[in-house]
Amino acid sequence: MKRTALLLGILLVPFGQPSSAAAQNPQDILVVVNQQAEVAETTPQELKNIFLKKKSFWRAGSQVIPIHAREGSPLRDAFRQQLLAMTSTEEQEYWKNSKIKKGLTEPTSFSNTQKAVYKLRSAVSYVFRADFKEGVAKVVYVLPAR
């Protein structure tokens, strides 16, 4: 059964099925997980907590490892702005403070985020719709391009 929900103006798309209700903009950001991951959908707040390392497990209990795109890439900048609601400077300050106060380091980054998700079952990352390859990962959330 295909379920699609609209939450806070951001389209939620489980099981990697891009919604026909959403414009197929190549600049949409698809949040992806490994095909074997036990997660089917997520929320913007859950994703934000995962990428800020405030949360390290999905609601179902399985571990999650956030993977960022390379710093300075258009993909990373768009994701940071749309989901984290931060500038690059604000994010750097967040990680500096998190390291001092909690011993946390920012998520690992890769130039090919979808390949990282393909190889690492617990990973969650993101990719522009234009770069998404069917069968490599499944989509659990769509951030429409602004």
Beta bridge partners of 67: 108
pLDDT confidence of residue 81: 95
Instruction: Name the residue with tokens 């690992």.
Output: 108
Confidence (pLDDT) at 110 = 95
Upper half-sphere CA count for residue 52 (Cβ side, 13 Å): 18
**Nearest in space to 8 (alpha carbons), one of 83, 117, 109:** 83
Q: Give the pLDDT of residue 38.
A: 86
SS3 78: helix
The domains located in the chain, with CATH, are 33-132 (3.40.190.10)
How would you classify residue 42: left for phi > 0, otherwise alpha for psi between -120 and 50, otherwise beta?
beta
Tell me what pLDDT residue 59 has: 84
Single pTM value for the model: 0.82
**Residue at token pair 């405030």:** 54
**For residue 40, what are the contacts with CB-CB under 8 A and spacing of at least 6?**
14, 15, 140
pLDDT at position 24, please? 82
Could you say which residues of the chain have pLDDT below 50? 1-22
